[in-house]
Amino acid sequence: MGTPAKTLDHLNKVVVAFLNGARIKGCAYDFSALKESFNLRPQEDPLQGQGIKVEMKDLKAVFFVKDFSGNPEYHESLRADAPMHGRKIEVTFIDGEKMVGRTEGYNPQRLGFFVFPTDPKSNNIRIFVVIRNTRQVRFV
């Protein structure tokens, strides 16, 4: 059996949020919640382009998105009509930015954890938060 062809539809589309405020869009091929780094391929040509190594210590979060364009005018609702799994959590990053969502796997001893948006219309599928770069994490 051969290896299936890689297409853009099967890639992890991400927006990487750095501590310095920069954000880079691309595709993560080898992301792991347990590893200190991953490779990011460029948004423009992820199947052929050169990637860069991204160190988790330099990040606030990795946003796994439905599409790269998103809607900057859209403000996510913190209420959801459908029942959701996990506990509601509020994350405050060291730069003061706050995020609210739900999580099933927060453990302060780990590198990070996933937060899921409460708004089903969100462009975010899930967000990986790097714990060492948060000021406060609390259940709400």
Residue 70's CB is within 10 A of a number of other CB atoms, namely 15
The pLDDT tens digits for 78-118 are 555 555 779 999 999 999 999 999 999 899 999 999 999 98
Query: Please, which residues have CB within 8 angstroms of residue 112's CB and are 6 or more apart in sequence?
Result: 33, 56, 128, 129, 130, 131
Amino acid 104: pLDDT: 92
pTM (two decimals): 0.86
Task: Tell me if 62 sits within 8 A of 52, measured CB to CB.
Answer: no
Q: What share of the chain is helix, strand, coil (3-state, %, to 5)?
A: 5, 45, 50
CA–chain centroid gap for 135, Å, is 18
The SS3 call for residue 5 is coil
The pLDDT confidence band at residue 3, using thresholds 50, 70 and 90, is very low
